[in-house]
Amino acid sequence: MGAEELASVVVAEKEAPPPPPLVIGLQPSALVDHVARVDWALLHSIPGERGGSQQVGFDDLKHILNEVNSHILPSPEDLSPVRTMAGGSVANTIRGLAAGLGISCGIVGACGDDEQGCMFVHNMSSNGVSISRLRVKKGPTGQCVCLVDALGNRTMRPCLSTAVKLQADELSQEDFRGSKWLALRYGYYNLELIRAAIRLAKQEGTAVSLDLASFEMVRNFRSHLLEILKSGQIDLCFANEDEARELMRGEPNSDPESALGFLSRHCKWAVVTLGSKGSIAKHGKEIVRVPAIGEARAIDATGAGDLFASGFLYGMIRGLSLEDCCKVGSCSGGSVIRALGGEVRLENWQWMYKELLAQGLPLPDLTDDSTILTKSEKMTT
């Protein structure tokens, strides 16, 4: 797919747009992930803390990618040492919702007119995500190298400094009209855009879900995050254990329960994911603690929180209880860690459907031409 064909694909969907998606994801810059399992030597040699996400320049990105092949950990399940796919937290969440959970989704943002932009558009549209709100711009698409260690923990180094990006004044109420949820990821470098998106979404009666992004983002730009949270306009907030700890830094208690209490004072629903220990969530006076579901088989933690959010939002849209929302989130989050990258493979969607059935949770209503499986096929696998 060349640049002209890329533009024509987006234009074609705009000319014959589908009904408004239930969930809109805001990702200012399209992103392509390069995911590889690597040894400790490479992780020790790159700048920044292991386990988090820190932006790098294009030269640093090229250097890391050049070094990857010399530090690959062999895996019998992955014939290719590096998997490349559309990435970004929000993209992972809405792709999971659309492809595996049957929820109509769209993405609003910008992608470049390059090879990576073509790959992003193809990957998202082939997984059922509407791209009619995606702006194609002249310039490069963002890239991220995701390094996975022997324990399945991921270290991410995104390169977005030269990537094309959606600007706040390019948003309109039409981007959110008819949608029930807007999925956001906190980012200091996108504050103006995030605030504009929240304002426009609220004008359309769209609920807002916010992911706290990374412990570095919370640590370094906590005051701006607190301003957004205390605005009262965030309906649902997701934090992992590390982000929760940074959010409560300097407070008498910095445990996940304290973070959950803090978030619930400002958001209608608050969720803190605890990795292999499951999750805790609060809505009003109700608090639930849900253990991780299914056998532990963590190949790569990339996208675990993103796909947990997919499952939780699916539960919200289906009207499930707070506990069942967490259970679906545990199943969907568990599906993505069973292989490299933030995109769930077919066999792992099948694993998730079996877990949903075992928990007595509702299976998604997928169409007959779904890229995953029809409901009747899932029932017999």
Phi, psi of 372 (to 5 degrees): -95, -105
Residues 6+ apart with CB under 8 A from 116: 30, 32, 140, 141, 142, 143
Stretch (H or E) spanning 33: strand 31-37
pLDDT tens over the chain, length 381 residues? 556 666 666 656 666 667 899 999 999 999 999 999 999 999 999 988 888 888 999 999 999 999 998 999 876 566 577 889 999 999 999 999 999 999 999 999 999 999 999 999 999 999 999 999 999 999 999 999 999 998 888 899 999 999 999 999 999 999 999 999 999 999 999 999 999 999 999 999 999 999 999 999 999 999 999 999 999 999 999 999 999 999 999 999 999 999 999 999 999 999 999 999 999 999 999 999 999 987 667 788 888 999 999 999 999 999 999 999 999 999 999 999 988 889 999 999 999 999 999 999 999 988 644 445 444 344 444
Q: Is 181 helix (H, G, I), strand (E, B) or coil?
A: strand
Domain 3-31+88-140+162-380: give its CATH code: 3.40.1190.20
| Among candidate residues 52, 343, 108, 90, the one with its CA nearest the CA of residue 210 | 90
Residues 6+ apart with CB under 8 A from 367: 102, 374
Q: What tokens does 88 get?
A: 């970004």
Residue 171 exposure: Cα atoms within 13 Å on the Cβ side: 27
Measured CA distances, 336 to 6, 50, 104, 155, 381 (Å): 28, 21, 20, 16, 19
Question: Which DSSP string do the residues of 39-71 spell out, in sequence order?
Answer: -HHHHHHSSS-TTSB----HHHHHHHHHHHTTS
| Among candidate residues 339, 349, 380, 354, the one with its CA nearest the CA of residue 85 | 339
* pTM (2 d.p.): 0.90
Q: Is 346 helix (H, G, I), strand (E, B) or coil?
A: helix
Q: For the chain, which residues make up each domain, given as ranges?
A: 3-31+88-140+162-380
The C-alpha atoms of residue 68 and residue 145 are separated, in whole angstroms, by 9
| Among candidate residues 12, 23, 13, the one with its CA nearest the CA of residue 106 | 23
Residue 204 exposure: Cα atoms within 13 Å on the Cβ side: 24
118 close to 1: Cβ distance less than 8 angstroms:
yes
CA 127 to chain CA centroid, Å, is 14
| Among candidate residues 256, 26, 200, the one with its CA nearest the CA of residue 247 | 256
In this structure, what DSSP letter does residue 72 have? B
211 close to 89: Cβ distance less than 8 angstroms:
yes
Which residue matches tokens 């916010």? Answer: 210
The C-alpha atoms of residue 150 and residue 179 are separated, in whole angstroms, by 40
Phi, psi of 154 (to 5 degrees): -115, 145
The C-alpha atoms of residue 28 and residue 88 are separated, in whole angstroms, by 10
279 close to 326: Cβ distance less than 8 angstroms:
yes
Residues 6+ apart with CB under 8 A from 194: 26, 184, 186, 187, 228
pLDDT of 362: 95
The C-alpha atoms of residue 238 and residue 271 are separated, in whole angstroms, by 5
